[in-house]
Amino acid sequence: MSEKKIIRVVLAKPGLDGHDRGAKVIARALRDAGMEVIYTGLRQTPEQIVTTVEQEDADVLMLSILSGAHNYLFPRIMELLKERGITDILVLGGGIIPDEDIPGLKQIGIKEIFGPGTELKTIIDCIHSNLAQANKV
Amino acid sequence: MADNKEKIAEALKSWNEKTQKVLAKNPERKAQFETLSEIPINRLYTPLDIEHIDYLEEIGFPGQYPFVRGVQNTMHRGRLWTMRQYAGFGSAEDTNKRFRYLLEQGQTGLSVAFDLPTQIGYDSDHPLSVGEVGKVGVAIDSVRDMAVLFDQIPLDQVSTSMTINSPAAVITAMYLALADKSNISFDKLRGTIQNDVLKEYIARGTYIFPPHIALRITTNIIEYCAKNMPQWNSISISGYHMREAGCTATQEVAFTLANGITYVQSVINAGLKVDEFAPRLSFFFSAHLDFFEEIAKYRAARRLWAKIMKERFKAQDPRSWMLRYHVQTAGCSLTAQQPLLNILRTGFEALSAVLGGCQSLHTNSYDEALALPSEQAVQIALRTQQIIAYEIGVTETVDPLGGSYYVEYLTDKIESDAEQYIKKIDEMGGMVTAIESGYVQQEIAHSAYEYQKKVESKERIVVGMNKFQIKEPPPTGLLKVDMSVGERQAEKLKVLRAERDNQAVLRCLEDVKRAAKDEKENLMPPILEAVKAEATLGEICDALREVFGEYVGGTSY
């Protein structure tokens, strides 16, 4: 059997908010689930985030935001990914994001938005199943 | 007493034997019981569990050292706590309207929430501000916005708390400039500036400058307030955000007081005597869900701080020994699922804050796991405090839980565990070193992860979220912040820059930089002049960035 590829995840905090409890808990959970997690730290611009994704050759980009600026920042990040030709990446979002904003965010290519109370297992399963579909693992 | 102790021990032994028989037939719900912060809980507490605690020395009377039972003699019989709802969103006009609504509803103090660009020292038209203006608080760019924010609110008649840290000097200066314009002398101003930068690096994230620089600015503000604003709390040393980030009750006490020690030492190093400023230090804690643990936490924090101030810093003024504090109920305990249940969670948390002896309180709104609070949700949150204050009788005697074997035991336990942590931090070289090494952040991240694992394994039940779930329609009536705030703020800045004396602004900014370079100078006077000349918050912070550089946050988890 060939060696299983280790999933590489960039976990980013776009925007100015400092709420990183959720991001850090998820980082630990994904690490414990055998993934390689790169946490960007706070206050990352869309440009910085996309550059990290490029440099780290990430399979997954997770965006955590609780400030309410998602409708500006998420589309900007998706745009930049496209511009730089990064199309085969799974993008997930999380934080305080009103239900009514979710369809719009999914339409621009964010696969799933996780709100407060989401189980870590749900996130891990989501990554596995999406990457399996894309034949990445 | 000794005789009595033996009798109790004997009776307890026999009770334990009988209980074993009961347990053989009917085991308890769990093999082990523990508090939210993982302190083991015994089946029963008796006088034996607190016999080592000397009442006169360690508990004493309210209003007297070591203040376990409260900082005033009559506590809430004399005066109720200040009901202070944290509010701010959109433009200064929007928030001014919310403030006046809250005052009409019987709120007794104001509490300003600033948006993130303001908290990080960027003007609303800065590239990094796009999408963030007016989102989590009010956007304040210049003293003009500040004037709108407090329109028709007499500054000498309200007490105002402002949650601002890295740019605290600028916002304080704007408030002073406003008072000056209305001919109100600085000694009439009552309120609090959060000004607690250390916890920004640990948990809250709105840092600008490197920690040791931020500490200098904080120290400058405390010193300035001590000399000019005798009724103003020059800092609110905050455990709240660390608790929200996931730390335990014990860590909350330990890290908060360790930060407090750092500030006190820093102001003493700057040349002030401890009793010249310590009476105006204030604190800010969370009220989480574990009812008794929270009450014990406040009592423990008061005793430990009193000892630190008296023994470590040799303060002599009893007011310097007092830990006075604001409480906010725990935002992290709110659920997005079945959000109306949050009214009850908040109510229980608020009750623990009151029974613990708080001086002021913010109750969260039930919709805050979903959005900024709507007006209706804020009203219920305020009414919750009013029910506790006027209807249920808990305010009619001082420290009603004092003497509870369990609460006194927990008080003692939290105090001694927190003391151990502080000792460890002292040995590491103090809080700034502990922060720079990432130690405190790691401790908190660890606690947060452990807690989450317990929720996932259902060892900890969150009603409506991991048990008793229902299918529910999407929430309605949530507050939406007008997206055009950013554009309107940018427009106002354009007008401001056209109308003001730009030469004067430049001179003032040069003066700020000059003061920044001289460690011995207090930054407050030049910043006050700059604010009066209508320099913007972003311009003043940029001038400081030029001299001080910026802090880059950590990426470990």
User: Does residue A60 sit in helix, strand or coil?
Assistant: strand
Domain count, chain B: 1
d(CA A35, CA A7): 5
Question: Which pLDDT score is estimated for B2?
Answer: 60
Residues of A in contact with B208 (CB under 8 A): none
By C-alpha distance, which of B217, B215, B196 is closest to B206? B196
Q: Is the peptide bond before B66 cis (omega within 30 degrees of 0)?
A: yes
Q: Which residue of B has its CA nearest to A67?
A: B136
d(CA B133, CA B146): 15
- Domain map (residue ranges) of chain A: 8-133
In this structure, is residue B195 part of a structural domain?
A: yes
The alpha-carbon gap from B458 to the nearest alpha carbon of chain A, in Å, equals: 11
Question: Which pLDDT score is estimated for B49?
Answer: 97
User: Does residue B75 sit in helix, strand or coil?
Assistant: helix
- Interval B366-395: pLDDT, tens: 999 988 899 899 999 999 999 999 999 999
The alpha-carbon gap from B51 to the nearest alpha carbon of chain A, in Å, equals: 40
Which of A9, A11, A17 is the mutation pick for testing B, counting most B CBs within 10 A?
A: A17
For the CA atoms of A23, B332, B85, B484, the dihedral, rounded to the nearest 10 degrees, stands at 30
The answer to whether residue A4 scores a pLDDT higher than 80 is no
Q: Which domain covers residue B154, as residue numbers?
A: 55-456
DSSP letter for each residue of B408-442:
HHHHHHHHHHHHHHHHHHHHHT-HHHHHHTTHHHH
d(CA B158, CA B145): 19
Q: In what order do the strands lie in the sheet with A112-114?
A: A36-39, A8-12, A60-65, A90-95, A112-114
Identify the DSSP state of B208.
Answer: -
Contacts of B391 (CB under 8 A, 6+ apart): none
Tally C-beta pairs within 8 A across A and B.
105
* Cβ(B531)–Cβ(B506) below 8 Å: no
Contacts of B121 (CB under 8 A, 6+ apart): B166, B167, B170, B208, B537, B538, B540, B541, B542, B544, B545
| Residue contact B449–A25, C-beta within 8 A | yes
Residues of A in contact with B131 (CB under 8 A): 15, 69, 71-73
ipTM above 0.95, yes or no: no
Question: Which pLDDT score is estimated for B478?
Answer: 84
For residues B97-108, give the mean pLDDT.
88
Out of B465, B481, B557, the one facing A28 most closely (by C-beta) is B557
| Residue contact A15–B370, C-beta within 8 A | no
Q: Which of residues 237-256 of B touch A (CB under 8 A)?
A: 244-246
In this structure, is residue B35 part of a structural domain?
A: no
| Residue contact A100–B474, C-beta within 8 A | yes
Q: Which of residues 369-428 of B touch A (CB under 8 A)?
A: 369-372
Contacts of B501 (CB under 8 A, 6+ apart): B533
- Tell me if chain B has a CB within 8 Å of the CB of A18: yes
Question: Which pLDDT score is estimated for B471?
Answer: 94
- Interval A11-55: pLDDT, tens: 999 999 999 999 999 999 999 999 999 999 999 999 999 999 999
- Tell me if chain B has a CB within 8 Å of the CB of A122: no
Output the six-digit token pair for B302: 């008061």
- Interval B310-348: pLDDT, tens: 999 999 999 999 999 999 999 999 999 999 999 999 999
Q: Which residue of B has its CA nearest to A32?
A: B449
Q: Which amino acid is located at B97 in the chain?
A: K
For residues B433-454, give the mean pLDDT.
94
Q: Is B155 left (phi over 0), alpha (psi -120 to 50) or beta?
A: alpha
For residues B348-353, give the mean pLDDT.
98
Helix axes A46-56, A70-83, angle to 10 degrees: 40
* Cβ(A23)–Cβ(A11) below 8 Å: yes
Residue B148: count other Cβ atoms within 10 Å of its Cβ. 16
Residue B33: count other Cβ atoms within 10 Å of its Cβ. 12
| Residue contact A96–B369, C-beta within 8 A | yes
Instruction: Name the average pLDDT for chain B.
Output: 96
Q: What radius of gyration do chain A's Cα atoms show? A: 14
The alpha-carbon gap from A28 to the nearest alpha carbon of chain B, in Å, equals: 7
Question: Which pLDDT score is estimated for B146?
Answer: 97
Residue B156: count other Cβ atoms within 10 Å of its Cβ. 13
> Taking the alpha carbons of B225, B228, B230, B231 in that order, is the dihedral positive or negative?
negative
The answer to whether residue A3 scores a pLDDT higher than 90 is no
For residues B405-418, give the mean pLDDT.
98
In this structure, is residue B324 part of a structural domain?
A: yes
Residues of A in contact with B244 (CB under 8 A): 21
- Tell me if chain B has a CB within 8 Å of the CB of A33: no
Which of B338, B452, B472, B480 is the mutation pick for testing A, counting most A CBs within 10 A?
A: B452
Q: Which of residues 484-543 of B touch A (CB under 8 A)?
A: none
| Residue contact B205–A17, C-beta within 8 A | yes
d(CA B47, CA B44): 10
Residues of B in contact with A23 (CB under 8 A): 557
In this structure, is residue B95 part of a structural domain?
A: yes
- Interval B230-243: pLDDT, tens: 999 999 999 999 99
**Host H or E run for residue B163:** strand B159-163
| Residue contact B128–A17, C-beta within 8 A | no
- Tell me if chain A has a CB within 8 Å of the CB of B341: no
Identify the DSSP state of B313.
Answer: S
Q: Which residue of B has its CA nearest to A120?
A: B456
| Residue contact A16–B117, C-beta within 8 A | yes
Identify the DSSP state of B545.
Answer: H
* Cβ(B467)–Cβ(B458) below 8 Å: yes
> Taking the alpha carbons of B273, B274, B278, B284 in that order, is the dihedral positive or negative?
positive
- Interval B10-64: pLDDT, tens: 999 999 999 999 999 999 999 999 999 999 999 999 999 999 999 999 999 999 9
Question: Which pLDDT score is estimated for B88?
Answer: 86
Output the six-digit token pair for B121: 């020292």
Identify the DSSP state of A35.
Answer: -
Out of A21, A41, A42, the one facing B448 most closely (by C-beta) is A21
Q: Which residue of A has its CA nearest to B456?
A: A119
Residue B453: count other Cβ atoms within 10 Å of its Cβ. 16
Of A69-73, A84-88, B123-127, B471-475, least confident by mean pLDDT is: B471-475
d(CA B157, CA B189): 8
- Tell me if chain B has a CB within 8 Å of the CB of A34: no
Identify the DSSP state of B375.
Answer: H
- Tell me if chain A has a CB within 8 Å of the CB of B477: no
What fold is seen in the domain A8-133? Rossmann fold (3.40.50)
Kindly report the backbone phi and psi dihedral angles of residue B301, in degrees, each rounded to the nearest multiple of 5, phi listed first. Answer: -60, -40
The alpha-carbon gap from A1 to the nearest alpha carbon of chain B, in Å, equals: 32
DSSP letter for each residue of A100-134:
GGHHHHHHTT--EEE-TT--HHHHHHHHHHHHHHT
Question: Which pLDDT score is estimated for A1?
Answer: 44
Which of A11, A25, A55 is the mutation pick for testing B, counting most B CBs within 10 A?
A: A25
By C-alpha distance, which of B5, B42, B62 is closest to B302? B62
The answer to whether residue B1 scores a pLDDT higher than 60 is no
The answer to whether residue B139 scores a pLDDT higher than 70 is yes
* Cβ(A78)–Cβ(A91) below 8 Å: yes
Question: Which pLDDT score is estimated for B499?
Answer: 98
Output the six-digit token pair for B301: 């924090």
| Residue contact A21–B204, C-beta within 8 A | no
Q: Which of residues 195-214 of B touch A (CB under 8 A)?
A: 200, 203-206
Q: Which amino acid is located at B174 in the chain?
A: M
For position B76, which CATH number holds? 3.20.20.240
Interior/surface letters B283-319, b for 16+ CB within 10 angstroms, e for the rest: bbbbbbbbbbbbbbbbbbbbbbbbbbbbeebebeebe
Identify the DSSP state of B458.
Answer: T
In chain B, % helix, strand, coil (3-state, to 5) comes to 55, 10, 40
Question: Which pLDDT score is estimated for B481?
Answer: 75
